[in-house]
Amino acid sequence: MQLIPCPWCGPREEAEFHYGGQAHVAYPEDPSALSDEEWAQYVFFRENPSGPFAERWSHSAGCRRWFNAVRDTRTHDLLAVYRVGEPMPEVTA
Amino acid sequence: MTHRTPTGGSIDRNTLLRFTFNGTEYTGHPGDTLASALLANGVHSIGTSVKLGRPRGVVAAGSEDPTSLVQVEAPFSEPMLLATTVELYDGLVARGLSGQGRLSAEPDPARYDAKHEHCDVLVVGAGPAGLVAALTAARAGARVVLVDEQNQAGGALLGVDEYLDDRPSAEWVADVVAELKSTPGVLVLERTTAFGMYQDGFVLALQKRTDHLGFAAPAAVARHRVWRIRTRQTVLATGAHERPVVFADNDRPGIMLASSARTFLHRYGVLPGSRAVVFTTNDSAYCAAIDLAESGVDIALIVDARAEAPARLSTECAARGIEVRAGQFVTGTEGSSRVEAVLVGDQRIACDTLLVSGGWNPVVSLFSQARGALRYDSELGAFVPGEELPTVRVAGSATGELDLTACTRQGRDAGAGAARAAGFTPGGQVPLPASDSRCTARSGLVLWRVPGSDDTSFVDLQRDSTVADVLRATGAGLRSLEHIKRYTTIGTAHDQGKTSGMIAAGIVAEALGVELGEQRPTTFRPPYTSVSFAALAGRDRGELHDPVRVTSIHPWHVEHGALFENVGQWKRPWYYPQPGEDLHTAVLRECRATRESVGLMDGSTLGKIDVQGQDAGKFLDMLYTNLMSTLKVGKIRYGVMCGVDGMVIDDGTVIRVGEERYLVTTTTGNAAKILDWMEEWLQTEWPHLDVHCTSVTEHWATIPLVGPRSRDVLAAVAPDLDVSNEAFEFMTWHDTTVAGVPARVCRISFSGELAYEINVTGWHGLTVWKALMEAGKPYGITPYGTETMHVLRAEKGYPIIGQETDATVTPQDLGMSWAVSKKKPDFIGKRSFARAENNRSDRKQLVGLLPVDPAVLLPEGSQIVETDRLPEPPVRMLGHVTSSYPSAALGRTFALALVRSGHDRIGETLYVPVEDALVPVTVTESVLYDKEGARRDG
Ligand SMILES: [Zn+2]
C-alpha cells in the first residue's frame, strides 16, 4: 500500500485516491475548430511512457481535491506532487 | 513406546494434554506442537501425497515444512494446517491430509480483526540478530515493533542447546525480551508472522492470538489479527531454512532435515528415532548428530558428500563412536510407511531415521517482496540479499551468515543504522553475547541431487514433483525459472517452495548448463505463510461487509411486506406482493392501479446535487446537452449528460431554485459518480468558475405521487396549494405545506401520467408517506416498487441509463435529439456528435419490439437477428433486448431494444432467438402508450 503525498493533506494511503490519467491534457479552446482527427486525439489518445509521467490524482476519500503528480511508471515512485494550475516541476528519475 | 527424552525441552512435563490423530488417542505436553507430540508417540506417517499417494511425514520443524498438512477437526474444522505449527491443546482432533483439505460447511464462529500500527523501526524475527537489532533501536529511543512467528523469542537458539555468555542461551533471550517489553514505545508481538512487505514501509503481519488455547479460547477475543504496520525502517532478521539434498526415494517418513531433528530434541525433548544415518554437505549436521548421539540415538553413519570431512568434528564423532565417511552419497532408501534402510553406494544400512542437510537458504522472501535485488552466493548455493534498500536492512543468517557472533553484530549494525535513518542517535553499544557454537563454518559443498531414479527423486514433496518433471520442462525448451515453476508446479504449494525452490533452480541450471548467477530467481510474493480469507476479511463480514443504505420510509416498506432490490448500496422496494401474488401478478396490479387511479413510490434514493454560485448556469450548460441557464426560477427541465465522447452517462431533472442555485437529480446508482464528474471539471478545467456542488441526496425524502387521481390526493394533504393545471403547470415546482410539513412539490412524470414529486426533509418522510396513504384511501392508493416504475416508464419509451444504455449510446440513438441544444456553442460531448462514427446510419438505436405472439415475453439481453432461420455462423446480430415486460396497459408483452438502423426499421419483422426457437417481433417506435401525451395533465 503506497503512500501518496496529497499536496493538501500530506501522505495518505493509496486506497484513498482515485486515478485520473495523464495530466496537462487541456480541454480544447474551441472544439468546433478541430478536425475529427485532432478531436479524436484529445478524446482517445494518451501517452504511455516508461519512466516519469505527469498524472492527475484525486484525493477522493480525503479532501476530494484533484492534484497532479509525476510518477515513475517503472517503480511507482512519486517524484513530485503539485497543485492544479502549477507548472510541472523538474524531476530526476 | 515413548520417544521423549527423560529431561529437557521447553515443555511442561507435569501436564498431560489429550489429543486424537487419525482416530487414535495420544498425549502430549504444553509446549508441544502437533508434530512434536506425534513424533514423541512414534508417529511419523502424517498423510499421503497428493498425486501418488505415497506416505509422507515430517521433514522440518517449522513453517518451512513441505509435508505435514493436517485438517484440524475440533474445536472448529480447518483445513491445510501444518502439524509443525499447530500448538497442541487439550482435546485437539486432527487427521492427516492427502494434499487437499476440506472447508467447513458451518460458518466460522470466530472473530477476526485488524489493527494499524506505526513505528520507526520494525524488526522481523526474534532470533539473536533480530533481538540485538531491536534492543539497539529501542535503546536509541525509536518506536520499535518486533514480530516473530514463534510462541517464544529465540529463533534458531530454540533448536540448539548452546550457551551465550557462559549461560544457557534461553536466559540471554529472556533478559533481552524483558528489557524490550519494559521499554516504553516498544511492541513485541509473538505468534505473529510478517507475511507481506509492500511499498513505503507497509508490512502486513498475522497474529494468531487464541489458536493455542483450543477449546479454552475466549470467544470475545479475535482469533487472528492482521497487523497493518507502517514503518520508517525495517530490519529483516528472518533467518535461514535448511535445505535437503534430492536423491531416489527421498520422501519416506523418517527422512528429516538434520537441524529440524536437533530442534525436536532440544525444544521438545523428542527423539526422531532410535537409529539414524546422517547425510550432509556441510558442518551443521555434525552438531545434530553429536547432540542426538548424546541423547541416546544410535548414529549409524555420517555420509559427508565432501571429499574431506572436517577434522575437528570428525574427531568429536570418533570419540563418540560415530563413523564418518567422506566423499560418499546416499543413493536411495527402502521402507514402507517409514524409512527402514539407506543405500550408500552398494551398501544397505538399516535405520529408522535419515537426517539430511544440503546447506542453508537465507529467508529472503520479504526482502524480495520489498523489491530488494537478490544475488547468487555460489559458496552457499543460495540467493542472498543484494544491495541494501534505503529503508530495509537485513541481518543474521538471512544474509547467508552462519556464525552466531557475526549474526548478532549484523543485528547491532542494522538496528543502529535503522534507528539513525529514522532520526535517532544510538547511545552506548549493546554488548554482543559470546558464543561457543562450533558447526557454523561456511565450508559446504553445493549439491542439489544425487543421480538416481529421476521418477522417485522428489524436488517438491507437497506437489509430488520430481527431477524427471524438471528435466521434462527443460527438455520441452523451457529456460525461465518462472515458466518451469508453472510447468512443474514446484514451489506453488502451501510452503511456496521454502525447501524446494532453490534446489529446483539448481537442477535447472545444471540441466541447461548455465550458471545459477545468470538465472533470475522466481519472484517471491505475499503471503509468506498461509493466511485465511477470514483473517483478511476481518470484521468486514456479513452485514458489515458493505454499508446498507435505507430511506427514512424503509420501516414502512418492511412492515408492508415489500421485497427489496439492491441498487448500489441502497435497498429499494422492488414490489409489494399481496398474499398469493408473484412478481408478475403484483406488478400488473400495481401498474393498473397507478394508471387507473393513483400510486406512490419511495424515490428518496434519487441522487440530488445542490449546485450554487454565480456561474452555476454557465457550468450546467457545459455539462448538459441542453440549455439550463435559460430556465426560469420555478421551472424544471429534463437533461441528458454525455462524456467527451458524446455517449450518454446520466440523465435527470434540473430544478432552478434561485438565480444562483439549481437542484440537479441523478439516477440512483450514479449519484456519487456525477458529483465526482462535476468536481473534476470544476477543479481541473474551470477553476475560475464560481460554482459549488454538494450532495443532498439524503437530506430529502422524495415521493412520486402518480396517476389520474394524484391531484385529488395532493389537494387533500396540501390545503395551501392550488393544484389546478393552470396554477401548477407541468415541469414547475412550488414550495408549500404537505401533511403539515414544509415541502417542495415538483410536477414531473416518469410514467406519462399526471404526477407530482413530493420532497420533504428526510426526517418527515415517513409521516408524509403515511399521510398520503391515508388521503389516498378513497382512491385505492397503491404503493409500488422499482419493477412497476420500470414498466410504466418503458411503456412510454423512457430509457434507463445503464439499462437501455452502455457506454456506446448517444442521445440521438435514444431518439432524444430534442434534448440536444443546437444553440449552445459548446457542451461536453458536442464535438463528438459531428464525428463520422456518430453519424453512421447503422448505429444501434432505441426502438420498441412487439412479439407477434402477444403472450411471449422476450428474455432481456436476447440477441436480435434479421432472418427467420439462422444461417451458418457467424450470424449477424442486429442488437439486443434491453427491457422486456408484460404490460397491463397494453394488454400484452412488449420490449425495448437497441437495433442497428432501428429508427429506419419501424414496421419490419425481426427475430429473437429464444432457446431453440426464433421468435418473430415487430419493430415499433419506442413510445408504446399514450403517444399523444394526453394523460400528462390528468
Ligand atoms: Zn487531500
Cβ proximity of B243 and B448 under 8 Å: no
- Gap from A43 CA to chain B (nearest CA, Å): 6
Ligand 1 center from residue A84 Cα (angstroms): 13
Ligand 1 center from residue A59 Cα (angstroms): 5
d(CA B401, CA B240): 9
Per CB-CB distance under 8 Å, the chain B contacts of A36 are 834-836
DSSP B617-639: HHHHHHHBSS--TTPPTTBEEEE
Residue B683 pLDDT > 90: yes
Within an 8 Å CB–CB cutoff, is residue B200 touching chain A? yes
**Under an 8 A CB cutoff, do A1 and B199 touch?**
yes
Query: Do β-strands B298-304 and B324-326 pair in parallel, antiparallel, or remain unpaired?
Result: parallel
**Under an 8 A CB cutoff, do B831 and A32 touch?**
yes
The CATH number of residue A18's host domain is 3.30.2270.10
d(CA B251, CA B237): 30
The pLDDT, as a whole number, for residue B439 is 77
Interface of A with B (CB under 8 A): 1-3, 11, 18, 20, 26-28, 30-32, 34, 36, 39-40, 42-44, 56, 58, 60, 64-66, 75-76, 84-85
Give residues with Cβ within 8 angstroms of B489, minimum separation 6.
B460, B463, B465
The pLDDT, as a whole number, for residue B436 is 79
Ligand 1 center from residue B539 Cα (angstroms): 27
Residue A93 lies in a domain: no
Ligand 1 center from residue A14 Cα (angstroms): 11
Per CB-CB distance under 8 Å, the chain B contacts of A16 are none
Query: Do β-strands B782-783 and B186-189 pair in parallel, antiparallel, or remain unpaired?
Result: unpaired
The rounded mean pLDDT for chain B is 96
Burial of B892 (0-12, 13-18, 19+ CB in 10 A): middle
Within an 8 Å CB–CB cutoff, is residue B379 touching chain A? no
The pLDDT, as a whole number, for residue B938 is 87
Cβ proximity of B288 and B260 under 8 Å: no
Residue A89 lies in a domain: no
**Under an 8 A CB cutoff, do B202 and A56 touch?**
no
Tens-place pLDDT, residues B348-380: 999 999 999 999 999 999 999 999 999 999 999
Within an 8 Å CB–CB cutoff, is residue B836 touching chain A? yes
- Gap from A3 CA to chain B (nearest CA, Å): 6
Per CB-CB distance under 8 Å, the chain A contacts of B200 are 1-3, 11
Residue A77 lies in a domain: yes
What is the crossing angle of helices B128-139 and B169-182, to 10°? 30
Supply φ then ψ for residue B324, to 5 degrees: -120, 130
Nearest-CA neighbor of B94 among B156, B47, B160? B47
d(CA B858, CA B845): 18
Determine the structural domain holding residue A33 and report its residue range.
Answer: 3-83
**Under an 8 A CB cutoff, do A66 and B684 touch?**
yes
- B704 forms bridges with which residues in the sheet? B757
Count the neighbouring beta carbons within 10 Å of the beta carbon of residue B676. Answer: 17
d(CA B683, CA B680): 5
Within an 8 Å CB–CB cutoff, is residue B722 touching chain A? no
The pLDDT, as a whole number, for residue A91 is 87
Nearest-CA neighbor of B677 among B606, B604, B603, B607? B607
Q: How far is CA B233 from CA B116, B120, B127, B362, B387, in A?
A: 16, 6, 18, 20, 16
Tens-place pLDDT, residues B189-213: 999 999 999 999 999 999 999 999 9
Residue B88 pLDDT > 70: yes
Supply φ then ψ for residue B76, to 5 degrees: -135, 140
Cβ proximity of B682 and B629 under 8 Å: no
Give mean pLDDT, residues B500-523.
Answer: 92
The pLDDT, as a whole number, for residue B99 is 83
pLDDT class of B520 with cuts at 50, 70, 90: confident
Give mean pLDDT, residues B749-772.
Answer: 97
Residue B442 pLDDT > 80: no
> What are the start-end ranges of the E strands in B724-824?
733-738, 741-746, 755-761, 782-783
pLDDT class of A93 with cuts at 50, 70, 90: low
Give residues with Cβ within 8 angstroms of B113, minimum separation 6.
B222, B225, B226, B538, B539
To test the contact with chain B by mutation, choose from A43, A44, A45, A83 the residue with the greatest count of B C-beta atoms within 10 A, namely A43
Collapse the DSSP code of B22 into the 3-class scheme (helix H, G, I; strand E, B; otherwise coil) and give the result: coil
Residue A29 lies in a domain: yes
pLDDT class of B565 with cuts at 50, 70, 90: very high
pLDDT class of B518 with cuts at 50, 70, 90: confident
Residue B259 pLDDT > 90: yes
- Gap from A55 CA to chain B (nearest CA, Å): 12
Residue A92 lies in a domain: no
**Under an 8 A CB cutoff, do B835 and A36 touch?**
yes
Find out whether the peptide bond into B874 is cis, omega within 30 degrees of 0: yes
User: Domain tally for chain A?
Assistant: 1
Q: What are A62's three cell numbers? A: 480525503
Q: Which residue has the cell 549409524?
A: B300
Per CB-CB distance under 8 Å, the chain B contacts of A82 are none
Within an 8 Å CB–CB cutoff, is residue B698 touching chain A? no
Nearest-by-CA chain B residue for A83: B684
Residue A90 lies in a domain: no
Count the neighbouring beta carbons within 10 Å of the beta carbon of residue B478. Answer: 19
Residue A25 pLDDT > 90: yes
The pLDDT, as a whole number, for residue B297 is 97
> What are the start-end ranges of the E strands in B85-243?
92-96, 112-124, 144-147, 163-164, 167-168, 186-189, 192-197, 202-208, 224-236, 240-242
Residue B532 pLDDT > 90: yes
Give mean pLDDT, residues B53-72.
Answer: 97
Ligand 1 center from residue A1 Cα (angstroms): 17
Give the Cα-Cα-Cα angle B619, B624, B628 (nearest 5 degrees).
Answer: 65
Within an 8 Å CB–CB cutoff, is residue B683 touching chain A? yes
Give residues with Cβ within 8 angstroms of B475, minimum separation 6.
none
Ligand 1 center from residue B934 Cα (angstroms): 53
**Under an 8 A CB cutoff, do B685 and A36 touch?**
no
Tens-place pLDDT, residues B117-163: 999 999 999 999 999 999 999 999 999 999 999 999 999 999 998 89
Tens-place pLDDT, residues B898-920: 999 999 999 999 999 999 899 99
Nearest to A31 among B200, B683, B830 (CB): B830
In this prediction, the answer to ipTM > 0.95 reads yes
Supply the Cα-derived Rg of chain B in whole angstroms.
38
Burial B790-812 (b: 16+ CB within 10 A, else e): bbbbbbbbbbbbeebbeeebbbb
Percent share of chain B, pLDDT over 70: 100
Within an 8 Å CB–CB cutoff, is residue B830 touching chain A? yes
**Would you tell me which residues 556-575 of chain B have a C-beta closer than 8 angstroms to some C-beta of chain A?**
none
Residue B693 pLDDT > 70: yes
- Gap from A42 CA to chain B (nearest CA, Å): 9
**In which region does residue B754 sit, left (phi positive, over 0), alpha (psi from -120 to 50) or beta (all else)?**
beta
The pLDDT, as a whole number, for residue B886 is 97
Residue A74 lies in a domain: yes
Tens-place pLDDT, residues B836-864: 999 999 999 999 999 999 999 999 999 99
Residue A23 lies in a domain: yes
d(CA B921, CA B679): 45
The pLDDT, as a whole number, for residue B426 is 87
The pLDDT, as a whole number, for residue B521 is 85
Which amino acid is it at B644?
Answer: V
Collapse the DSSP code of B236 into the 3-class scheme (helix H, G, I; strand E, B; otherwise coil) and give the result: strand
Ligand 1 center from residue A2 Cα (angstroms): 15
Ligand 1 center from residue A58 Cα (angstroms): 8
pTM score, two decimals?
0.91
Ligand 1 center from residue A79 Cα (angstroms): 17
Give residues with Cβ within 8 angstroms of B551, minimum separation 6.
B570, B602, B604, B605, B701, B762, B765
